[in-house]
Structure 1
Amino acid sequence: MFRTRPGKRRGSAVALLAAASLMLALSGCGVDPITPGDARGEAAGSDDKAGDGKAGAGTGAVDCGKVKCIALTFDAGPGKDTPHLLDVLKEKQVPATFFLLGKKHVDRHPEVVKRIADEGHEVANHTWTHRILTDLEAEEVRDELSRTQEAIEKITGRRPTLMRPPQGRTDGTVSEVSRELGLAQILWSVTAKDYSTTDSTLIRQRILDGAQGDGIILLHDIYDGTVPAVPGIIDELKRRGFTFVTVPQLLAPGQAVPGEVYRP
Structure 2
Amino acid sequence: MHFSTALAAVAAVAPLVNAHGSPLPKIVGLNPRDLKARSVLSNLGARFAEVHEFAKESKPLKARQDTPECGQGVGSCAAGQCCSQSGYCGNDDDYCYSPGCNYAYGPGCPDNAVPAGTNTSSIARTKVGSVAYGGAGIYSCVKAGTVALTYDDGPQKVFTAHILDLMDTYKAKATFFITGNNINKGQIDLTPEYISVIKRMDTAGHQIASHTWTHLDMSAVSSFDRKNQMWKNEMALRNIVGKIPTYMRPPYSSCTAASGCEKDMADLGYHVTYFDVDTDDYNQDSPSQIQRSKDWFKGNITAGGATAAGGAKWLDIQHDIHEQTANNLTEYMLKTLTDLGYKGVTVGECLGDPVANWYRTAGGAGTASSSVSASRSATVSSAAPTSTGTKKVTTDATCGGTNQYTCLGSSFGNCCSASGWCGTTTDYCGTGCQSGFGNCGSNVISSSKAASSTPKAASSTPQAATSTPKAASSTKAATPSAAPGKVSTDGTCAGTSGFTCTGSSFGNCCSAYGWCGSTTDHCGSTCNAAFGTCSGSGAVSSSKAPVATPTKASSAAAPVATKKASTDGSCAGTAGFTCTGSTFGNCCSQYGWCGSTTGHCGTGCNKSFGTCT
Q: How would you bin the TM-score normalised by the shorter chain?
A: 0.7 to 0.9
Q: Report the Cα offset of residue 72 of structure 1.
A: 0.2
Q: Report the Cα offset of residue 15 of structure 1.
A: 3.6
Q: Report the Cα offset of residue 237 of structure 1.
A: 1.9
Comparing 123-132 with 238-247, which one deviates more in the overlay? 238-247
Letter in 2 for 1:72: L
TM-score with structure 1 length normalisation? 0.75
Q: Percent identity?
A: 25
Bigger Rg over Cα: 2
**Distance in structure 1 (CA, Å) of the matches to 2:281 and 2:230:** 24
Equivalent residue in structure 2 for 1:114, among 199, 207, 211: 199
Q: Report the Cα offset of residue 93 of structure 1.
A: 0.5
Tell me the SS of whatever aligns to 2:323. coil
Letter in 2 for 1:200: I
Tell me the SS of whatever aligns to 2:152. strand
Tell me the SS of whatever aligns to 2:272. strand
| Structure having greater relative contact order (Cα 8 Å, sep ≥ 6) | 1
Matched with 1:180 is: 267
Asked if the contact 2:25/2:295 (under 8 Å) is kept, the reply is yes
Equivalent residue in structure 1 for 2:35, among 9, 16, 22: 22
1:98 aligns with 2:176: yes
Aligned length: 219
Identify if the C-alpha distance between structure 1 residues 170 and 142 changes in structure 2 by more than 3 Å, giving closer, same or farther: same
Which protein is richer in helix relative to its size? 1
Q: Report the Cα offset of residue 150 of structure 1.
A: 1.1
Matched with 1:196 is: 283
RMSD value, Cα: 2.7
Asked if the contact 1:149/1:159 (under 8 Å) is kept, the reply is yes
Residue by residue over 1:78-102, the C-alpha shift from the partner in whole angstroms, topping out at 9 and shown as x without a partner, is 0021111111101110000000000
- 1:133-144 equivalences under 5 Å are 133-144=218-229
Equivalent residue in structure 2 for 1:219, among 307, 311, 318: 318
Residue by residue over 1:15-63, the C-alpha shift from the partner in whole angstroms, topping out at 9 and shown as x without a partner, is 45997531547xxxx95445656xx6xxxxxxxxxxxxxxxxxxxxxxx
Asked if the contact 1:114/1:155 (under 8 Å) is kept, the reply is yes
**Distance in structure 2 (CA, Å) of the matches to 1:245 and 1:33:** 19
1:125 aligns with 2:213: no
Q: Report the Cα offset of residue 154 of structure 1.
A: 1.2
Comparing 228-237 with 205-214, which one deviates more in the overlay? 205-214
Matched with 2:298 is: 208
Identify if the C-alpha distance between structure 1 residues 238 and 161 changes in structure 2 by more than 3 Å, giving closer, same or farther: same
Q: Report the Cα offset of residue 202 of structure 1.
A: 2.2
Identify if the C-alpha distance between structure 1 residues 155 and 253 changes in structure 2 by more than 3 Å, giving closer, same or farther: closer
**Distance in structure 2 (CA, Å) of the matches to 1:251 and 1:137:** 31
Tell me the SS of whatever aligns to 2:227. helix
**Distance in structure 1 (CA, Å) of the matches to 2:322 and 2:22:** 23
1:150 aligns with 2:235: yes
**Distance in structure 2 (CA, Å) of the matches to 1:217 and 1:114:** 23
Identify if the C-alpha distance between structure 1 residues 35 and 226 changes in structure 2 by more than 3 Å, giving closer, same or farther: closer
Q: Report the Cα offset of residue 179 of structure 1.
A: 2.0
Asked if the contact 1:18/1:190 (under 8 Å) is kept, the reply is no
Tell me the SS of whatever aligns to 1:77. coil
1:245 aligns with 2:330: no
- 1:151-166 equivalences under 5 Å are 151-166=236-251
- The unaligned stretches of length 5 or more in structure 1 are 1-5, 41-63, 257-264
Tell me the SS of whatever aligns to 2:197. helix
Identify if the C-alpha distance between structure 1 residues 231 and 19 changes in structure 2 by more than 3 Å, giving closer, same or farther: farther
- The unaligned stretches of length 5 or more in structure 2 are 1-20, 39-133, 303-311, 359-613
TM-score with structure 2 length normalisation? 0.33
Asked if the contact 1:96/1:245 (under 8 Å) is kept, the reply is yes
